[in-house]
Amino acid sequence: MKFTRKKSIILITLFSAIFVVQTFFATKTGFDHNFDTFFPEEGEDTEYFNHFRDVFGSENDFLIIGIENNEGIFKNDFLIKLDSFTSVLGKVENIEFVQSPTNLYFVVKDMFGSIYEIPYIHINDEEKLKNDSTQLMKSTTMIGSFISSDAKSVSIFVKHKDGLELEESQKLLSDLKEKTDEFQFDSTHMGGRIVGHVYFTELTSTEIVILVAASVVLIIIFLFITFKSWYGILIPFAVVASTVIFVIGLMAETGKNLNIVLNALPTVLMVVGISGVVHFLSKYLQELRKGLHKMEALHKTFKEVGFALFFTSMTTIVGFASLTTSNIPPIITFGLYTAIGVAFCLLLSLFFMPSILLLMKEPKLNKTYKEGKLWDHKLRDAFLWLIRNKVLVLISFGIIVAVSVWGTLQIKPNNYIMEDLKEDNPMMKSYNFLEENFAGARPFELGIQLKDTSKSIYDPEIVRLINEIEEFAIQNYELGGVFSIPMMAKSTNVGNHGGMQEYFELPEKDKELKKILKDIRRYADDEKLEKIVDSTHTETRISARMADMGSYNTAPLHAKFLEFVDQPRFKEALDVHITGGPYLMELNNEMLVTNVVTGLIIAFLIIGIIIGIMYKSFTIILLTLIPNIIPLLMIGAIMGFTGIDLKLSTSIVFTIAFGIAVDDTIHFLSKYRIELRKGFSKMIALKNTFEGTGKAIVLTTIVLSGGFLTLCVSDYLGSFYIGILVSLTLVFALLSDLILLPVLLILFYNPKIKKK
């Protein structure tokens, strides 16, 4: 493109208008941590989950409050205070009901048909309290659900309204904190969906400011060191800042909010974008120093650097765009909008920045400026060492590949509900407390449908089948806080026998069980029954809580459970579904390996095609991919050996790193082709390429790695892992490009390029 003042003014006006519009929309961007966005978008499990929610409502709109009393919980003063606290919680706005050890009771029906409620704990009667404590410590339903095994902690189950918005969640948590502070228990711990929702949303909004600020400081320092002038700082910074604002504005226009995955997007865009901008500006200033007029310098820069910048941007775009093959919506969004951002940054670099440079006054430069010779000497010595040690290089990389493959195979696909929180995080401590003393705060849900709709969930034979399934699930998953029809029937049976825990079972005779089930339908709270039995009495749920043990550990448990319910006596009468948000997230995580491999294969193929079009050589395609696959294997080995699991946050590292790292390989090969066309021999051309691109590749890697390392300041381990792993991959790619690639070109590439 031939730049003129008129064209430059038109382009600047156009981009300025876009910037103003996008700035307006960028201010409308919100923050979100809705776990539903991490579920599979389609499939039988997702379809049933949506049906399950339509019938029974949300499965995870509850809170668990753990309360410690160091002197033990079976103390009158503590139990009276706990009972008062329970009553106060029930009056808080948006809370539907509260269950604690002090308001639980048995329903007893005497011989005359009268109904009585007998409390689990008689808080005002010391004699009965002693017996209550003995019975409760024998109770398999209370220990681990409402009472800790050491009898020093209790938990309170708080059911709040479904689907609370962020502001409502924040107010509810604020109200609960105010109430807990008033009662001054020894310690309190809280867990639940809205706790995570509020925490991660606030963390995201805080962290994005910290990460962007760290990136801005790093970029300004780098630009100052590189150009040592305001000219070289403001123009590149304006380009990358405009790119970030454009993408954030586009997200707002299309209804997308920032979340724990997308909060790294601005930093990634700035770091990736600055590399190409600096390449262009450096070449332009270099031509000015040679004495060219700014119009001539721009045209030459556009011609020589524009082509390489276009292809390197394309490979980066391909790397990010390959993330859209994932089945996880936030990953798709991250890949799509980052790819769009890189494309927009390319447009700014090739059209907006040259237009600004053309209209600006030509900077005063030292025409006699010469680069130091230190780099030349070091790179020349390094190249000579490579020539003398080609076999050693191949053997060394062969060993590295073998070890890396072994290490990569050790990676575990694994995710947690409380994903990537550091152990000293206050919320993580609360969740650990709930898991160590109680069943945890992770929901566990089973949906059960009758195949014969002429029957009822309340039929004794059906209840007995469901009870078998429930007892197996309790044992298999170590469940607590179980809520179901069989559980209500067994609790009623205990009540009918004076609270004796020995009777926590279904009566052997169907006649007795029918009476209990009839009483449940007649006297139980209708709202609670609607939560576990549908209106047609042909579908029910088993609702419980379990520890957040990670998808790697729950996968074999799911397989064992599904094998159990596949027995003919269950299969002929019931359709049993494991469901719930955490289960869907685990299904997604099981497909992460497939997603990563698929994304990389697509990236390999597309980038291979691009290289093939550029160089028209299958050998060059292989020689391009090999030095960039090895760094991925090396980072995989680090993950495998150090126990970093493959999960939502780390799954995107490989495709991001590959798309960026391959740029240096393309720069190296482009320079090599230019040197060959000048008429130099294969070895001289390679030497000139090594010395000519070595410094640029090293500096680019330092900038990119340093930029990604700014993510390590994050309290969220997902951002930390992206920062450290991508940085390491880029360093490994640098070593591969400057050590392995030259040796491969010497041994396996015989160029046939005509001299020009």
CATH assignment at residue 115: 3.30.310
Q: Is 441 in the same domain as 559? A: yes
Please tell me whether residue 293 adopts helix, strand or coil conformation.
coil
d(Cα 471, Cα 445) in Å, to the nearest integer?
14
Residues 488 and 620 in one domain: no
Question: Residues 656, 319: contact at Cβ < 8 Å?
Answer: yes
Three-class DSSP category at 3 = coil
420 domain-assigned: no
- pLDDT at position 756: 47
- Same domain, yes or no, for 702 and 582? no
69 assigned to some structural domain: yes
Among candidate residues 193, 226, 252, the one where a domain is terminated: 193
The partner residues of 118 in beta bridges, in order of sequence, read: 106
In this structure, the answer to whether residues 486 and 552 fall within a common structural domain is yes
In a domain, 551, yes or no: yes
Distance, first Cα to last Cα, the chain: 23
Plot region of 550 (φ>0 → left; ψ -120 to 50 → alpha; else → beta):
left
What total number of domains does the chain contain?
Answer: 3
Same domain, 389 and 440: no
Same domain membership, residue 157 and residue 118: yes
Say if residue 539 is in the same domain as residue 615. no
Give the burial class of 453: count Cβ atoms within 10 A of its Cβ; 0-12 exposed, 13-18 middle, 19 or more buried: exposed
d(CA 94, CA 160): 6
- The radius of gyration of the chain from alpha carbons, rounded to an integer in Å, stands at 32
Is 65 inside any structural domain?
A: yes
Q: Look at residue 124 and tell me if it is in a domain.
A: yes
Residue 198 lies in a domain: no
CATH number, domain containing residue 402: 1.20.1640.10
Task: Report d(CA 373, CA 222) in Å as an integer.
Answer: 21
Q: Looking at the structure, tell me whether residues 62 and 187 fall in a common domain.
A: yes
Q: Measured between alpha carbons, how far is 214 from 556 in angstroms, rounded to an integer?
A: 42
What is the DSSP secondary structure assignment for residue 229, as one 8-state letter?
S
* Same-domain check for residues 539 and 498: yes
Residues 541 and 687 in one domain: no
The pTM is what? 0.79
Q: What is the mean pLDDT of each run of 10 residues along the chain (756 residues)?
A: 79 91 88 67 84 86 90 90 92 90 77 71 83 83 87 91 86 92 91 84 79 84 79 86 93 85 83 82 80 83 80 85 82 90 92 87 62 69 90 94 94 80 79 86 91 92 95 92 90 78 86 88 77 92 90 92 94 93 82 79 83 80 88 93 86 82 82 83 88 80 83 80 89 91 88 58
Q: Which one of 167, 193, 219 terminates a domain?
A: 193
654 and 716 share one domain: yes
Instruction: Say whether both 568 and 625 belong to one domain.
Output: no
Helical H runs in 502-591? 510-523, 526-530, 551-565, 568-571, 581-590
Angle between helices 682-709 and 193-227 (to 10 degrees): 130
Q: In whole angstroms, give the CA distance from residue 591 to residue 647.
A: 10
Handedness of CA 517, 519, 522, 524 (dihedral sign): negative
Q: Tell me, what's the pLDDT at 369?
A: 47
> Residue 336: inside a domain, yes or no?
no
Burial class (CB in 10 A: 0-12, 13-18, 19+), 564: middle
Supply the DSSP symbol for 710.
G
Q: Are strands 153-160 and 480-483 parallel, antiparallel or unpaired?
A: unpaired
Q: Is residue 647 part of a domain?
A: yes
In whole angstroms, give the CA distance from residue 603 to residue 386. 30
Structure confidence at residue 38 (pLDDT) = 67
Range of the domain at 666: 372-409+591-598+611-756
Last residue of a domain, one of 193, 219, 246: 193
Most distant pair of Cα atoms in the chain: their distance: 110
What is the structure's pLDDT at 142?
84
CB contact at 8 A, 29 and 333: no
